[in-house]
Structure 1
Amino acid sequence: MKTLTGKHINLRALELADLTFLYTIENDESYWSVSNTQKPFSKFLLQQYLENAHQDIYQAKQLRLLIEESKTTNSVGLIDLFDYEPKHRRAGIGILISPNNENKGYASEALEILINYAFTHLDLHQIHANITEDNIKSIALFEKFGFKKIGLKKDWIFINGKFKNELLYQLIND
């Protein structure tokens, strides 16, 4: 069995052919509040990013993978490990499923695959996720895989003229 292959999806490294999908996602303002983005990305800048995406997690301190359907190889989302700290054996995790691919089980399968990869191949001790308090779907998803709420950041995200609280979730590999 391949490590980054599931029953319905594969996780794979980003390629230049993914430029259009990445451009669409990165320039969708509805995601900016959770990705700390405040301006659009040009295709040129994203192409440069993809050309340098060959760096491994030890160099880049992050791992960004495309989520694609196994049968069709259609791009359905992205999943990331970020803020990788090898000494402390931890990383943050984030996931995004494009709106037309939500509620199909892709997020659950991708999260399960990446958790397994992080603990077995990267030897991480813990993974953490930051989720706004009103993101009920993400909270349910991460709790399904054993993530525990360990903190609350009050008024952490400012969007549409209002502050939102952000929850900190953690999964420790015992």
Structure 2
Amino acid sequence: MVNLKGDKIYLRALEPEDLEFVYTIENDTALWSLSDTKQPYSRYLIREYLKNAKQDIFEAKQLRLAICQQSDNKILGLIDLYDFSPLHKRAGLGILIKEISDRKKGIGSEALNLLVNYAFDILNLHQVYANISETNSASLALFENNGFEKIGLKKDWSYDGKSYSNEFILQRINH
């Protein structure tokens, strides 16, 4: 049985009350390079997104969950399955812990493993993958320490308006 509850955190569906948290994340220009975002999102658009988040992953082809602290239910970050392909039994995986002070405390590893177990055991996926900038050493370490393997380097993949950067693709196969 898959449980979306770990030792320190649990994963849950987004709620309308999460509007301000999601709004802050989506409009933080420092994070835009992680998601190829190039424009701000209005509260209206995020409210509409949250209303439609009730679609299941087979309809929406994505799933976004809140990472919450068990002790006080505080939202610490978001974790996503995206580009979900039931035919090929794979999905991309992304994670963000909002506050730097909450990072490197095992929260990311716990959330990552909870979602990977869900993807493999409930969604019956064969693999999950992540695209991570070559310069994002913290994310590379998080994924590699949790069973993901670097399988390729996409050269000059991302452009920030001034220069190109490389991006690794990492994969974890359900054996």
TM-score if structure 2 supplies the norm length?
0.96
Cα distance in 2 for partners of 1:3, 1:106 equals: 16
Cα distance in 2 for partners of 1:121, 1:12 equals: 15
The one-letter code of the counterpart of 1:124 is: L
1:96: which partner in 2? Answer: 96
Cα distance in 1 for partners of 2:136, 2:14 equals: 27
Following TM superposition, the consecutive aligned residue runs of length 4 or more in structure 1 with deviations greater than 6 angstroms are none
Cα deviation digits, residues 142-169 of structure 1 (max 9, x gap): 1111111111111111125121100000
- Measured after TM superposition, the shift of residue 10 of structure 1 is 0.8
2:69: which partner in 1? Answer: 69
Cα deviation digits, residues 33-79 of structure 1 (max 9, x gap): 11110000000100000011000000000010000101111110000
1:144: which partner in 2? Answer: 145
Pick which of 97-106 and 133-142 moved more: 97-106
Aligned-CA RMSD value:
1.1
2:68·2:77 contact (CA, 8 Å) conserved in 1? Answer: yes
- Measured after TM superposition, the shift of residue 103 of structure 1 is 2.0
Cα distance in 2 for partners of 1:144, 1:157 equals: 24
Matches within 5 A, 1:53-132: 53-99=53-99, 100-132=101-133
Cα distance in 2 for partners of 1:15, 1:80 equals: 15
Cα deviation digits, residues 10-52 of structure 1 (max 9, x gap): 1000000000000000000111111110000000100000011
Pick which of 56-65 and 160-169 moved more: 160-169
Cα distance in 1 for partners of 2:66, 2:105 equals: 16
2:50: which partner in 1? Answer: 50
**Aligned-residue identity in percent:** 54
2:15·2:50 contact (CA, 8 Å) conserved in 1? Answer: yes
Cα deviation digits, residues 87-139 of structure 1 (max 9, x gap): 11000000000124222211011001001111000000000000000111111
Cα distance in 2 for partners of 1:135, 1:32 equals: 14
TM-score if structure 1 supplies the norm length?
0.97
2:27: which partner in 1? Answer: 27
The one-letter code of the counterpart of 2:127 is: Q
The one-letter code of the counterpart of 1:97 is: I
CA 1:101–1:54: 2 relative to 1, 3 Å: same
Cα distance in 2 for partners of 1:163, 1:30 equals: 17
Cα distance in 2 for partners of 1:112, 1:118 equals: 10
